[in-house]
Structure 1
Amino acid sequence: MMVKLETKGKLILILLILSITNTSARRQERRQEESDGFSLGSLLAMGLCGIGAVVAAPVVLAGAGFTAGGIAAGSIASGMMSTAAIANGGAIAAGSTVAVLQSVGAAGLGAAGAAAVGSAGAVAGAAAAAAINQDEDLDE
């Protein structure tokens, strides 16, 4: 009778060890699958941040003072324009940051601008998703 109990105990111990090992192997496989590509959550974050950046860009520019009627007095944009004019001997260089932002504020984002802003937003979304996923991995 004693031999049978010891055998059952050993069998249970072996099954427990195999179960733990199998669970660890599944976790490693899942992490490997997730690291091979973007998860659905990462893709969703990238899409939302990309679209959000394209929608928010004109609003942010107007808030900074780059409006359709020109640069608003006393705004961040007017400070940038003043600094750029002083640096360039009184003129604003074509293609400078201030000139490009004023153009976008007045005319809106073109296709290339929307693509650039959307891409930057998607990169920000991917970075945020990666940081969140890294925090979740540390919690496990």
Structure 2
Amino acid sequence: MVAGHVIAITVGAGAAVLMGPVALGMFGFTPGGIAAGSTAASLMSTAAVANGGGVAAGGLVACLQSAAAAGLSGTATVALGSLGAATGEGVRWLSSKIWK
């Protein structure tokens, strides 16, 4: 049964790290900037209204755009991989309860 845990954790971590940049692009965070009419543009607009007209440095929108433009930092990669690993193991555990 240990092999099932290892596979779930490995697949979850790998998928999260590989799909992170893809997900950013799908929401409109691109290397060239935020795509017009995208979810990212809506988030940016909301953040600007909340901050009196500008997007705060270090805020969510700024961090996501930075990740899309420059890639994920080492810390962000580790955090994303850890979240993916936990999700993979959670899905394995849940499926073992459902299809017992």
Q: Shared fold by TM > 0.5?
A: yes
- The match for 1:52 among 2, 8, 15 is 15
TM-score (norm 2): 0.94
The reply to whether residue 130 of structure 1 matches residue 90 of structure 2 is: no
Q: Which runs of 5+ in 2 are unaligned?
A: none
Q: How many residues align?
A: 100
- The match for 1:73 among 32, 36, 47 is 36
Deviations 1:13-56 (A, max 9, x none): xxxxxxxxxxxxxxxxxxxxx6xxxx211220111110111000
Percent sequence identity over matched residues? 45
Instruction: Provide runs of 4+ in structure 1 moved above 4 Å.
Output: none
Query: 1:133 Cα shift?
Result: 1.6
- The match for 2:27 among 64, 86, 92 is 64
Distance (Å, rounded) in 2 between the aligned partners of 1:96 and 1:110:
16
Root-mean-square deviation (CA, aligned residues, Å) is 1.1
TM-score (norm 1): 0.68
- 1:49-128 to 2 correspondences below 5 Å: 49-128=12-91
Larger radius of gyration: 1
Structure showing greater relative contact order (alpha-carbon pairs closer than 8 Å, 6 or more residues apart) = 2
Q: Secondary structure at the match of 1:95?
A: coil
Return the letter of the residue paired with 1:82. Answer: S
Query: 1:91 Cα shift?
Result: 1.1
Q: Which has the higher helix share?
A: 1
Distance (Å, rounded) in 2 between the aligned partners of 1:106 and 1:62:
10
